[in-house]
């Protein structure tokens, strides 16, 4: 290639911008014979294809050209009102449409929040492990990460306190996914939630809460989001239609009660895409306000994923060697397993792929890449038969790979 394209001509931030490890892994899992627990994909057979076709038709015939026109950066008012109203109805909050910004997936929310908050070398606090796509989005702005240990009840408040106390400079924000987390499926307990908000507020470290899975509860409703524990604009929030409608619509949102922050986010989004697709916003609004459709659809997703989780758990219990430990998520799309620490799950991945089963090795979810014994298993994207066969293949691969480890 020409010298003009050699790497030294690219911005320095590109050194931190790498292809997502998951995308690389997904390439391996594309083969039809591979059962994949690797992707983070919803079940495509549940996508409301016919409803979306009808909604699209209705939008085009009732709204016509304006549905295809440029529109405002903040998003269409109808959808913003619905987003605020849904959270208010569920958690007794009082958000208004002015506090809502529609984004192109919640992934864009991560990017623009990172853009307005992070200067190179700033500290960002993450739970350990955290969402790979957030690390990837923030990496472009060259932060340093401070990580806080988690257990089955989520981020540990005492550990958070300690990390903030020892931070060389005040961190810019804490990013966390308190409910049915990606990658672990864990939920921050109701008891810890106000403590986390209080610790951050006392230390003047704002919180950025990411809640894509909160609607996917298999039994009890999860505790209220952190933003419902605040009232001071200290917590900003992002949600998405990806897991309750379809990710291909690329509709997410932010709730940002603090006006000065909103005033920075809007031009950041404007520079990136002017606004989120107008047509998609109208289609989603039509869909979610179509009688009882949304409630029925979410109930179906919960039931299907809940049954798939149960099948995966019972297969793991039945088939895995003793040293494999796994959790019991109460919702979402993932569970987390740990193998004997002598096994590196990136190496194990190769053996598993050869046996036609895939998962995501844990290392890239740890911002400092400091643990290698974890694996993320997705249960939403395979049917129950495939889940059992896949777990059986994985158990055999682990036994063969770790021969000698019981």
**C-beta closer to ligand PMP: residue 246 or 337:** 246
**C-beta closer to ligand PMP: residue 175 or 401:** 175
**C-beta closer to ligand PMP: residue 284 or 398:** 284
Angle between helices 384-401 and 345-354 (to 10 degrees): 120
Compute CA distances 198 → 179, 195, 227, 381, whole Å.
18, 5, 12, 37
Minimum Å gap between C-beta 98 and ligand PMP is: 22
Residue nearest to ligand PMP (CB): 105
**C-beta closer to ligand PMP: residue 135 or 343:** 135
Minimum Å gap between C-beta 284 and ligand PMP is: 12
3-state secondary structure of 306: helix
Minimum Å gap between C-beta 43 and ligand PMP is: 14
Which residues does 141 contact at the CB level (< 8 Å), separation at least 6?
13, 114, 115, 117, 118, 119, 120, 122
Return d(Cα 243, Cα 184) in angstroms, integer: 17
**C-beta closer to ligand PMP: residue 276 or 278:** 276
Minimum Å gap between C-beta 166 and ligand PMP is: 27
**C-beta closer to ligand PMP: residue 133 or 157:** 133
Minimum Å gap between C-beta 242 and ligand PMP is: 3
Minimum Å gap between C-beta 380 and ligand PMP is: 11
Compute CA distances 99 → 77, 180, 201, 222, 239, whole Å.
11, 25, 20, 23, 13
Return d(Cα 298, Cα 316) in angstroms, integer: 26
**C-beta closer to ligand PMP: residue 105 or 390:** 105
Minimum Å gap between C-beta 249 and ligand PMP is: 9
Given a contact cutoff of 8 angstroms between Cβ atoms, the answer to whether 377 and 335 are in contact is yes
CA torsion angle 389 391 393 396 (round to 10)? -140
Helix and strand numbers, DSSP H then E, in the chain: 12, 14
Return d(Cα 241, Cα 166) in angstroms, integer: 38
Chain residues that interact with ligand PMP, rule: CB under 6 A: 40, 105-107, 131, 133, 177, 182, 210, 212, 240, 242, 247, 252
Around Cβ 283, how many Cβ atoms within 10 Å? 28
């Amino acid at each position: 290639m020409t010298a003009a394209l050699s790497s030294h001509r690219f911005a320095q931030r590109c050194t931190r911008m790498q292809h997502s490890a998951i995308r690389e892994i997904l390439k391996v899992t594309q083969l039809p014979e591979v059962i994949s627990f690797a992707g983070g994909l919803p079940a495509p057979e549940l996508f409301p294809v016919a409803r979306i076709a009808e909604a699209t038709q209705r939008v085009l015939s009732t709204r016509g050209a304006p549905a295809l026109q440029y529109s405002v950066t903040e998003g269409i008012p109808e959808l913003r009102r619905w987003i605020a109203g849904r959270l208010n109805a569920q958690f007794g909050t009082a958000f208004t449409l002015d506090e809502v910004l529609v984004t192109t997936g919640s992934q864009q929310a991560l990017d623009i929040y990172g853009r307005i908050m992070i200067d190179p070398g700033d500290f960002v606090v993450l739970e350990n492990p955290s969402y790979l796509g957030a690390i990837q989005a923030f990496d472009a702005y060259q932060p340093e990460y401070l990580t806080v240990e988690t257990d089955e009840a989520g981020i540990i408040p005492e550990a958070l306190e300690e990390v903030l106390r020892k931070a060389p400079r005040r961190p810019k924000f804490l990013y966390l996914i308190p409910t049915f987390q990606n990658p672990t499926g864990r939920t921050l307990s109701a008891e810890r939630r106000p403590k986390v908000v209080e610790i951050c507020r006392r230390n003047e470290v704002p919180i950025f809460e990411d809640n894509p899975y909160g609607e996917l509860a298999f039994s009890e409703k999860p505790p209220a989001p952190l933003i419902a524990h605040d009232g001071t604009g200290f917590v900003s929030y992002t949600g998405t239609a990806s897991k309750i409608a379809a990710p291909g619509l690329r509709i997410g949102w932010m709730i940002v009660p603090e006006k000065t922050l909103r005033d920075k986010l809007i031009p950041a989004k404007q520079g990136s895409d002017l606004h989120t697709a107008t047509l998609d916003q109208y289609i989603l609004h039509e869909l979610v306000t179509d009688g009882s459709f949304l409630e029925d659809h979410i109930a179906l997703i919960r039931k299907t994923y809940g049954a798939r989780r149960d099948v995966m758990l019972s297969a793991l219990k039945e088939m895995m060697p003793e040293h494999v430990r796994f959790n019991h998520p109460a919702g979402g799309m993932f569970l987390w397993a740990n193998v004997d620490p002598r096994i590196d799950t990136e190496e194990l991945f190769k053996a598993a792929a050869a046996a036609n089963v895939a998962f995501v090795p844990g290392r890239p979810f740890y911002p400092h890449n400091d643990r290698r014994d974890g694996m993320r298993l997705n249960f939403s994207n395979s049917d129950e038969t495939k889940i059992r066969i896949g777990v059986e293949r994985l158990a055999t691969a682990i036994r063969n790979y770790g021969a000698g480890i019981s």
